[in-house]
Amino acid sequence: MTEKQDQATRKPVPAWLYKLFTGQQYPYVRRQAKFGKKERRPEGGFQEPTAEEIDAVFWEIYPRCSVKILEEVKTGMVVTFHELGSFAPGTYQALIDNPEEFLARTYGKKKIKVNFYDGENFVCTINFKVGGWTGHEEESGA
């Protein structure tokens, strides 16, 4: 498949997801683009990737990412995360299309962390306060 055909078959992704993967906060995609280059600068080291290179690497990585859904649970001063579910690559489109609605319908009113993984490698995470969640004290009755 040519680059042009490949671009035509890509499903558009929401801006929040693209920024999460390619922004400065989580450098996994940017690093893959930077260190995946075959050429080095004449003075040594690697050149920063262009927007096109980052985009190309995003489209390599994103389709193969799996997802873990975690619930944030606070006990006293300690915050822990309990796994609520996981999704294989390509099986979480409803989550991508409307995350808060999907999470509320599937898991209820909670504070949820969504982690993306490329195989065993952590890519990025995003937190959601789902279904009108307002605080840990509300759940514990405090």
In this structure, is residue 92 part of a structural domain? yes
Average pLDDT in the chain: 86
Q: Are residues 71 and 132 in the same domain?
A: yes
Q: Are residues 51 and 84 in the same domain?
A: no
The answer to whether the beta carbons of residues 114 and 128 sit under 8 Å apart is: yes
Q: Are residues 47 and 26 in the same domain?
A: yes
Split at pLDDT 50, 70, 90, the class of 35 is confident
Calculate mean pLDDT across residues 37-55.
Answer: 76
Domain count of the fold of the chain: 2
In this structure, is residue 37 part of a structural domain? yes
Calculate mean pLDDT across residues 68-96.
Answer: 95
Q: Are residues 52 and 81 in the same domain?
A: no
CA gap 79, 85 in Å, rounded: 19
CA gap 128, 113 in Å, rounded: 6
In this structure, is residue 3 part of a structural domain? no
Q: Which amino acid is at 102?
A: F
CA gap 66, 58 in Å, rounded: 14
In this structure, is residue 1 part of a structural domain? no
Contacts of 9 (CB under 8 A, 6+ apart): 1
**What is the token pair recorded at 85?**
């579910």
In this structure, is residue 5 part of a structural domain? no
In this structure, is residue 77 part of a structural domain? yes
Boundary-marking domain end, from 63, 81, 103 = 63
Split at pLDDT 50, 70, 90, the class of 47 is confident
